Structure 1
Amino acid sequence: MFQKIGRILAISLVLASAGLASGALAGADSVYDLSPEQNGRIHVRKNPDAIAAIPAEFKFVTPGKLTVASAVGGPPLNTYATDAKTVVGSDPDFASAIAESLGLQLEIIPVAWADWPLGLSSGKYDAVISNVGVTEQRKEKFDFSTYRQGLHGFYVKANSQLPVIKEPKDAAGLRIIVGAGTNQERILVRWSEENVKARLKPIQLQYYDDEATQLLALQSGRADVIVQPHSTLVYIANRDKNIKRAGTLSAGWPERSDVAITTRKGSGLANALTIATNGLIASGDYQKILDRWQLIDEALSKSETNPPGLPKY
């Protein structure tokens, strides 16, 4: 009997940590609209300058539509709505605004992340709007129009007294949860090496198999910090109400790393998309879209076509 009670308690702790308890779900529902209707979606006017910048020879996959691929990864960027088929999130909202700016209807095609490069190159869709970061290697095959900063987040327990984490020395000696083989791990390994050279304590990296176990380790005090893409941790913080931000980090540290609309190399569409994005920034609609999904901290001051990307490693 006592073993059974112990198992129930352990399961309850994991569910609570992962935000699967009813209270956590209610918290998420109060902040994010995951309904298929998306009544709160921001709608915009046509942008004549962006429309005029579309090359006359460019042929959309479907006339009158902007066909966009989206690798559905999770809220708040792109996830399935409560009907389990409609793709919603900040990326679909932004895609909708871009389509409306160009005087087109939006068609979103859910794809696996590994499939978007070939699908875009072969002409299955006009663009990819799915948290794709600009890299020098990708620029060899694709064009980019930036629309958001690429950030990682440092998050701690809500009652943590740790100071803000801005640079390597701020993380010296901390126990940090990170995903194996991720860009975050690559950066933190370099941070730890810098700390050791400066005769500071190394960072203690911790690895867990799933999000629930990660969050449980943080709440139980076995770890001090969790590092993941900023948007993911923003969602978890709003859902669970028991973690808070201790800092952010460029996804390409020490270089800047922006997220961009991705189009076929030389298709000519990128310039129109950049103009459309800057139009949304100027009108304030861009900021409204990000704010709707609690991502205003990732806003850009302007969109650029094919800016410097992350170098090849």
Structure 2
Amino acid sequence: MTLKNIKHTSAAWIARSLAAFALAAFTLVGGTAHAADKFDFSPEQQGRLRTGKDAEAVNAIPPNFKFVKEGVLTVAVAPFAPPISTYATDAKTVVGFEADYALLIADALGLKLDLQPIAWADWPLGLSSGKYDAVISNVGVTEQRKEKFDFSSYRLGLHGFYVKADSPIKSIKEPKDIAGLKLTTGAGTNQERILLEWNRQNAAAGLKPATIQYYDDDVTRTLAVVTRRVDANFNPNAPQAYEAAKNGQIRLVGTVNAGWPLKSDVAIATRKGSGLAVALTTATNNLIRNGSYAKTLARWSLAEEALPRSETNPPGLPKFAP
């Protein structure tokens, strides 16, 4: 039987922990300060990589394809969190991995980039109506979405187990590794579904289930790890990778594909049947081969999410019965 314990945090504990966590972010760890400037959020983005025109990718663009603006790749992005996409210090320029990757794709196609910040909910209609050539905004591939859009994969969709930096836990990769641990995750999420299934498998194997605690946001989940209220936080990898690199308070001990036991890649979305997806897949694979892709992921501490190769319309999460 699945154990599902909901712990309610007190206002006093949250207030104390927030103060301690804020102070800890500026303390010395191991004799050296964790640099607050590890990530560049300036609008200038001096460290951003560029690449040359990719003749193979350009030749893969259908002759009849019409870009929204001639000579320009118009890409929609929904800035939501570093290091994937966020606003720069000028509060208007979009920066992060997806902005860098979109620029590399535009370079490869021999086009200028017009990166348009949007609300997440607006991308399907905007793409279908021809407002953008593509959407690069942490869109996961699903079989349902593939009915309306084409996809070119560019990042693994990963959930990560993060523990306190000095935790004795070395690795969490499979169900038996969570037996008896205290974990936090988001209620009603795909990652919760994974943990509950792992608990079910552990119970069937005679292992002690994990205790799952629920907190309202990423800040309090990270606080729960740092203050040892839980052993690990199991949630989307990218925001936690950013926090780990920024402050050094937590570290990664394992990843699980967001579509477990299947896979769920993150992909560029384009209009169904437009033909542009093949060119984008070609460009991505050549960026993987020339090293620009890996360097750009590393720039935003997302090396764990590298794909070995891009695919056009890869298998996505299946439709689940209501």
After TM superposition, the score normalised by the length of structure 1 is 0.93
Amino acid at match of 1:92: A
Question: How far apart are residue 215 of structure 1 and its match?
Answer: 2.0
Would the aligned equivalents of 2:17 and 2:227 in 1 still touch at CA under 8 Å? no
- 2:309 is the alignment partner of 1:305: no
Mapped to 1, the partners of 2:118 and 2:87 lie a distance apart of 12
1:3 maps to what in 2? none
Partner of residue 281 from structure 1, selected from 284, 288, 297: 288
- Residue 234 of structure 1 corresponds to which residue in structure 2? 241
Of the three residues 64, 78, 84, the one matched with 1:57 is 64
Note if contact 1:143-1:262 (Cα within 8 Å) is conserved in structure 2. Answer: yes
Which amino acid counterpart does residue 45 of structure 2 have in structure 1?
A: Q
Correspondent of 1:33 among 40, 43, 48: 40
Change over 3 Å in CA distance of 1:292–1:14 after alignment to 2: same
Unaligned runs of 5+ in 2: 1-10
Structure 1 residues 74 and 224, CA gap change in structure 2 (3 angstroms): same
Match of 1:87 in 2: 94
1:192-234 deviation digits (Å, cap 9, x = unpaired): 1111111111221111112222222222221111011111111
Q: 1:28 to 1:208 in 2, by over 3 A?
A: farther
1:187 corresponds to 2:191: no
Alignment of 1:196-215 (within 5 A): 196-215=203-222
For residue 290 of structure 1, give the secondary structure of its aligned residue in structure 2. helix
Matches within 5 A, 1:61-210: 61-210=68-217
Deviations 1:225-262 (A, max 9, x none): 10111111110111221111111111111112211111
CA shift for structure 1 position 27: 3.8
Q: Is the 8 A contact 2:14 2:220 kept in 1?
A: no
Identical-pair percentage: 59
Partner of 2:273: 266
Distance 1:123 1:27, change over 3 A: farther
Q: Return the letter of the residue paired with 1:148.
A: R
SS of residue matched to 2:116:
strand
Alignment of 1:14 with 2:43, yes or no, is no
* Partner AA of 2:167 in structure 1: S
1:69-124 deviation digits (Å, cap 9, x = unpaired): 11111110001011111000011100000001001111111111111111111111
Cα deviations by residue, 1:146-205 (Å, 9 ceiling, x for unpaired): 111111100001111023101011001211110112111111111111111111112211
Change (3 A) 1:8 1:307: closer
Which residue is equivalent to 2:7?
none
Specify whether residues 103 and 16 from structure 1 end up closer, same or farther in structure 2 by C-alpha distance, changes over 3 A only.
farther
Corresponding residue for 1:4? none
Contact 1:18 1:212 in 2 (8 A): no
Q: 1:250 to 1:86 in 2, by over 3 A?
A: same
1:248 aligns with 2:255: yes
Residue 136 of structure 1 deviates from its aligned partner by 0.8
Inter-partner Cα distance in structure 1 for 2:73 and 2:22 = 36
> Following the alignment from structure 2 to structure 1, what is the Cα–Cα distance between the partners of residues 143 and 214?
29
Q: Is the 8 A contact 1:19 1:240 kept in 2?
A: no
| Contact 1:17-1:240 at 8 Å conserved across structures | no
1:279-309 deviations in Å (ceiling 9; x for gaps): 1111111111111111112111111101111
Aligned residues between the structures? 306
Q: Distance in 1 between matches of 2:297 and 2:133?
A: 23
d(CA) in 1 for partners of 2:214, 2:144:
29
Q: What's the TM-score, normalizing by structure 2?
A: 0.90
CA distance in 1, matches of 2:13, 2:193: 36
User: What secondary structure is seen at the aligned counterpart in 2 of 1:30?
Assistant: coil
